[in-house]
Amino acid sequence: MSVKRRNLQPLTEARLEELALAYVARFATTQGKLRDYLQRKLRERGWGEDEDAGSRPDLDRLIGRYVELGYVDDAGWARMKAGSLLRRGYGARRVGEALGHAGLNEDLREEVRPDEAAERRAALILARRRRLGPFAREDADRPTREKHIAAMLRAGHRLDIARGIVEAADVEAAEQWVEAASGDL
């Protein structure tokens, strides 16, 4: 049995605004992500108002209005996303990649970049969650330690931070190493 698709009408200015409002009401988003969503909808359904006159919807005006109203806040979204990724144990590189993928500029990404203490805390969270380094069930031999370091690098941590966690003698030593960065501030 095949699923029949509705015959979707081309978008009008009013319908495009409705789609944008529904999107920002449902999702915390950035200007770049909202623009991508609206462009995808335009590709899928087309533009129904005066196509022969060459008029295209003014996405910048529409997005700008939602920014003014506070429905779209790039800085707030960046802080929220960076905090979420750090709490899940991802490193600064992965945080920066996620923010860049969402269309945030370099200045904003640099503004929410985690400091040394936050990076170390995130690495400790990842090691605890994935049982890496001192959190492993058994003492790790060299190949296993290298795999643990590789896992931390894939999660976006710097090599020195990954080594600091994986090569810690025990859990207490790893926690002290993390706390040492907080004391340096």
Question: Using H for helix, E for strand and C for coil, what is the string for the chain?
Answer: CCCCCCCCCCECHHHHHHHHHHHHHHCCCCHHHHHHHHHHHHHHHCECCCHHHCCCCCHHHHHHHHHHCCCCCHHHHHHHHHHHHHHCCCCHHHHHHHHHHCCCCHHHHHHCCCCHHHHHHHHHHHHHHHCCHHHCCCCCCHHHHHHHHHHHHHCCCCHHHHHHHHCCCCHHHHHHHHHHHHHCC
pLDDT tens digits along 87-140: 999 999 999 999 999 999 999 999 999 999 999 999 999 999 999 999 998 888
Report pLDDT for 56: 81
Report pLDDT for 4: 59
pLDDT tens digits along 26-40: 999 999 999 999 999
Arithmetic mean of pLDDT over the chain: 92
